[in-house]
Amino acid sequence: MAATSGPTHAADLLFDPAEMAASREQLRIENGEVRASSVIIDQLEASFSDGEEAYGFDVQGWTGGDINRFWWKSEGEGEFDGGLEEAELQALYSRAIRPFFDFKPECARLIAPTEATGLIWSSVSRGWHPIGSKSMQPPSCPPRAS
């Protein structure tokens, strides 16, 4: 843990700590707490063969800042004439708990519409609530078991 063994603000050792605190606050005001959003389309396809017209999708996105983010993920498939066959929708909250580590509780639903109603949301067939963490360590810091 050499990267986290030093002082919290190393510049305070070289410059006046009060001036550095004011500089950090100004930097936070100008650049910090930025809200951003992203939509990532991994798969968006249509197929037309032997009289069948089908589609599939795999998309995800997020909104938030560096510390807290709301993620959503969805994938599914269906036929243009028959509607949605199956889909999965996930909602995740991500919180940075250390440098390069996120905590992600998740709520996921598998959606299978009924023929009687045709409504996608009318027949949620199962759901689960996994909890996990995600490490995004740079290659220069390989993980170690301890």
Inter-residue contact 118 to 110 (CB < 8 Å): no
Q: Rounded to an integer, what distance in angstroms lies between the CA atom of residue 74 and that of residue 109? A: 10
> Does residue 55 lie in a domain region?
yes
Does this model's pTM top 0.85?
no
**pLDDT at position 18:** 93
- Total domains in the chain come to 1
Give every residue of the chain whose pLDDT is below 50, as ranges.
116-125, 145-146
Whole-angstrom distance, CA of residue 58 vs CA of residue 74: 6
Residue-level pLDDT at 112: 59
Q: What is the pLDDT of residue 85?
A: 81
Provide the residue range defining the domain that includes 98: 35-135
Query: Is 28 part of any domain?
Result: no
What SS3 class is residue 14?
coil
Residue 65 lies in a domain: yes
Residue 121 lies in a domain: yes
Q: Compute how many other C-beta atoms are within 10 angstroms of the C-beta atom of residue 82.
A: 12
Task: Find, among 78, 25, 81, 38, the residue nearest to 55 by Cα.
Answer: 78
